[in-house]
């Protein structure tokens, strides 16, 4: 089946849902999960097809690349699509006044997210990014609580500001090159190495970085994650933040490799790591600790992306995969311990399984061998030593210091959990929710099979610049001629 169905099916279902629920109210409950399940099957089939016959380029509506809009069905895009569908299905929100409305939001999120994962055209990336963004604003407010509404509105303002900046970056790229197709732009990196190109990259890092929880527009993260249902926080920290990074990954791997603007992304990442971990150390409740820790982890990913090269990209992908499995499980397990961290004393003995797994997952975030988080950080340091000539010591020092802070707050939580305290009261929340158990199992599988996953990630990184697409580039008409013979204008 064609991968474009991954976008069309959930969006169509989302628009039909408001009409269908008038006929039968129960539609609101089963329609959404069923469509996402079907989409998951289609995504898995498309992913398998790429394993068999390799990446493909799809020209939407039959118009070929420079004029038409290109979709890229490659390893990266379809892996992301499979994980997105799976995560949405597992983390379907439950605390909501209107189930049908949340279904609509999640269907839009799924369709737009699949489109974002496969787009090979800057403007299409922007449109899908905005669709994902609008869906997440709705998701953040889905439980209808006052604080969640405020957090959602403040998130919307930062998000809209970021999108405008990203669009400005896209406008700069177009003004400079006259094209928005990533493959075509890949052959014109010379034109984007000047100040306009660097400015465009910086604007897009800031803009797309809002969703990726990157410094500086990430104030929304603790506010939103503290006041939504834990499943929504898990979904947003787990997969939606990764979609923002995915856009940057494609841009850097295909267009901006070696651009001086990557220095900016590097320091955005370092500042994210340092501020995130320090804020997590100072946070007073569990939700905010996990939210700030998420900012720190995404900062690490940004550093790895900025370093680039095979090692850097693989480090970024492993760190993302580790965070994608660990953080949702942590949010779900931490459901049993709401409120202040002080109230944690002795709670671990009432739910030993949940507490032990919480500590194990936290160890992977810190980067204790042989857990996957260790390999991510190890490759990251390796990439720093090979790629950075000046100031590598400072960079490594800052990242290791942040890791020590990270270890300090997680050990403090562990000490409280297993320390002495009043006998824990009985609670209806299970120590280990079933969905969290699934994430833990996937995490353990990743820990055992790190080598094999690493090999696949290498293939993903190589697939970012497929040979046939590179060669087809010369077949494109001269880019200056394709836009009414204008060429450069800035």
| Tokens of residue 394, six digits | 């400072």
Distant-in-sequence contacts of 408-412, Cβ < 8 A, 24+ apart: 408/281, 409/277, 409/280, 409/281, 409/283, 409/289, 409/293, 410/359, 410/362, 410/363, 410/365, 410/366, 412/341
Q: CB-wise, 208 or 443, nearer to other proteins? A: 208
* Interface segment toward other proteins; rule CB under 8 A; list 2-10, 28-36, 173-181, 304-312: 173-181
Among 16, 38, 44, 168, binds other proteins (CB under 8 A): 168
Asked if 341 contacts 286 with a C-beta cutoff of 8 angstroms, the reply is yes
Q: CB-wise, 124 or 447, nearer to other proteins? A: 124
Query: Is residue 146 part of the contact set for other proteins (CB under 8 A)?
Result: yes
Query: Is residue 161 part of the contact set for other proteins (CB under 8 A)?
Result: yes
Q: Report, in angstroms and rounded to the nearest whole number, the Rg of the chain calculated over CA atoms.
A: 22
Asked if 329 contacts 357 with a C-beta cutoff of 8 angstroms, the reply is yes
Q: How far is the CB of 484 from other proteins (least distance, A)?
A: 6
Query: Is residue 223 part of the contact set for other proteins (CB under 8 A)?
Result: yes
Asked if 115 contacts 128 with a C-beta cutoff of 8 angstroms, the reply is yes
Q: CB-wise, 49 or 412, nearer to other proteins? A: 412
Q: CB-wise, 86 or 226, nearer to other proteins? A: 226
Q: How far is the CB of 77 from other proteins (least distance, A)?
A: 22
- Class of residue 483 by CB neighbours under 10 A (exposed 0-12, middle 13-18, buried 19+): middle
Q: Which residues inside 374-413 make contact with other proteins, applying CB under 8 A? A: none
Cβ-proximal residues to 160 (8 Å cutoff; 6+ apart), any chain = none
Query: Is residue 171 part of the contact set for other proteins (CB under 8 A)?
Result: yes
Residue 213 gets which letter from DSSP? T
- Class of residue 91 by CB neighbours under 10 A (exposed 0-12, middle 13-18, buried 19+): buried
* Interface segment toward other proteins; rule CB under 8 A; list 166-174, 187-195, 361-369, 473-481: 166-174
The Cα–Cα gap between 133 and 164 comes to 12
Query: Is residue 338 part of the contact set for other proteins (CB under 8 A)?
Result: yes
Query: Is residue 157 part of the contact set for other proteins (CB under 8 A)?
Result: yes
Query: Is residue 20 part of the contact set for other proteins (CB under 8 A)?
Result: no
String marking each residue 261-300 x if it binds other proteins according to CB under 8 A? -----------------------xx---------------
Q: CB-wise, 136 or 322, nearer to other proteins? A: 136
String marking each residue 21-60 x if it binds other proteins according to CB under 8 A? ----------------------------------------
Site size with other proteins, rule: CB under 8 A: 43
Distances (CA, A) of 394 to 267, 305, 382: 12, 18, 14
Q: Which residues inside 105-144 make contact with other proteins, applying CB under 8 A? A: 123, 126-127, 130, 133-134, 137-138, 141
The Cα–Cα gap between 292 and 138 comes to 22
Q: CB-wise, 74 or 121, nearer to other proteins? A: 121
Please give the full DSSP string across 160-183, using - where no structure is assigned: HHHHHHHHHHHHHHHHHHS--BHH
Query: Is residue 153 part of the contact set for other proteins (CB under 8 A)?
Result: yes
| Tokens of residue 99, six digits | 């189930």
Query: Is residue 227 part of the contact set for other proteins (CB under 8 A)?
Result: yes
Q: How far is the CB of 485 from other proteins (least distance, A)?
A: 9
Query: Is residue 160 part of the contact set for other proteins (CB under 8 A)?
Result: yes
The Cα–Cα gap between 483 and 471 comes to 22
Q: How far is the CB of 340 from other proteins (least distance, A)?
A: 7
Q: Find, among 175, 182, 40, the residue nearest to 121 by Cα.
A: 182
Query: Is residue 174 part of the contact set for other proteins (CB under 8 A)?
Result: yes
Q: How far is the CB of 59 from other proteins (least distance, A)?
A: 16
Residue 121 gets which letter from DSSP? B
- Class of residue 95 by CB neighbours under 10 A (exposed 0-12, middle 13-18, buried 19+): middle
Query: Is residue 194 part of the contact set for other proteins (CB under 8 A)?
Result: no
Distance of CA 241 to the CA centre of its chain: 3
Residues contributing to the site for other proteins (CB under 8 A): 123, 126-127, 130, 133-134, 137-138, 141, 146-147, 149-154, 156-157, 159-161, 163-164, 167-168, 171, 174-175, 178, 180, 223, 226-227, 284-285, 338-340, 483-484, 486, 489
């Amino acid at each position: 089946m064609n991968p474009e169905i991954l976008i069309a099916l959930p969006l169509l279902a989302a628009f039909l849902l408001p009409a269908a629920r008038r006929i039968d109210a129960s539609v609101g409950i089963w329609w959404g999960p069923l469509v996402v399940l079907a989409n998951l099957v289609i995504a898995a089939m498309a992913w398998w097809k790429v394993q068999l016959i390799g990446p493909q380029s799809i020209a939407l509506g039959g118009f070929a690349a420079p004029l038409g809009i290109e979709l890229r069905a490659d390893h990266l895009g379809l892996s992301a699509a499979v994980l997105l569908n799976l995560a949405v299905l597992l983390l379907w929100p439950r605390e909501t006044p209107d189930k049908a409305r949340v279904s609509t939001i999640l269907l839009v999120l799924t369709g737009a997210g699949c489109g974002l994962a496969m787009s090979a055209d800057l403007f299409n990336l922007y449109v899908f990014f905005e669709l994902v963004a609008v869906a997440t604003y709705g998701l953040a407010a889905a439980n209808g609580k006052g604080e969640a509404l405020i957090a959602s509105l403040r998130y919307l303002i930062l998000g809209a500001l970021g999108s405008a900046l990203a669009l400005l970056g896209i406008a700069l790229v177009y003004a400079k090159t006259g094209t928005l197709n990533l493959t075509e732009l890949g052959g014109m990196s010379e034109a984007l190495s000047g100040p306009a190109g660097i400015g465009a990259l910086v604007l897009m890092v800031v803009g797309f970085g809002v969703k990726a929880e990157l410094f500086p527009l990430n104030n929304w993260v603790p506010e939103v994650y503290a006041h939504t249902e834990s499943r929504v926080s898990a979904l947003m920290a787990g997969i939606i933040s990764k979609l923002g990074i995915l856009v940057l990954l494609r841009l850097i791997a295909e267009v901006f490799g070696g651009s001086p603007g990557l220095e900016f992304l590097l320091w955005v990442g370092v500042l994210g790591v340092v501020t995130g971990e320090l804020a997590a150390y100072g946070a007073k409740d569990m939700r905010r600790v996990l939210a700030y820790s998420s900012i720190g982890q995404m900062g690490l990913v940004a550093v790895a992306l900025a370093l680039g090269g095979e090692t850097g990209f693989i480090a970024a992908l492993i760190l993302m995969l580790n965070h994608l499995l660990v953080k949702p499980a942590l949010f779900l397990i931490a459901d049993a311990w709401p409120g202040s961290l002080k109230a944690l004393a002795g709670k671990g003995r009432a739910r030993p399984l949940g507490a032990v797994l919480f500590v194990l997952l936290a160890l992977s975030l810190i980067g204790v061998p042989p857990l996957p988080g260790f390999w991510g950080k190890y490759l990251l340091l390796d990439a720093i030593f090979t790629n950075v000539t000046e100031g590598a010591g400072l960079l490594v020092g800052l990242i290791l210091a942040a890791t020590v802070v990270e270890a300090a707050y997680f050990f403090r939580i562990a000490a409280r959990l297993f320390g002495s305290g009043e006998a824990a009261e009985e609670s209806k929340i299970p120590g280990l929710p079933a969905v969290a158990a699934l994430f833990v199992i996937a995490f353990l599988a990743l820990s055992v099979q790190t080598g094999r996953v690493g090999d696949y990630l290498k293939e993903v990184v190589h697939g970012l610049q497929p040979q046939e697409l590179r060669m087809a580039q010369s077949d494109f008409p001269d880019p200056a001629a394709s836009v009414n013979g204008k060429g450069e204008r800035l």
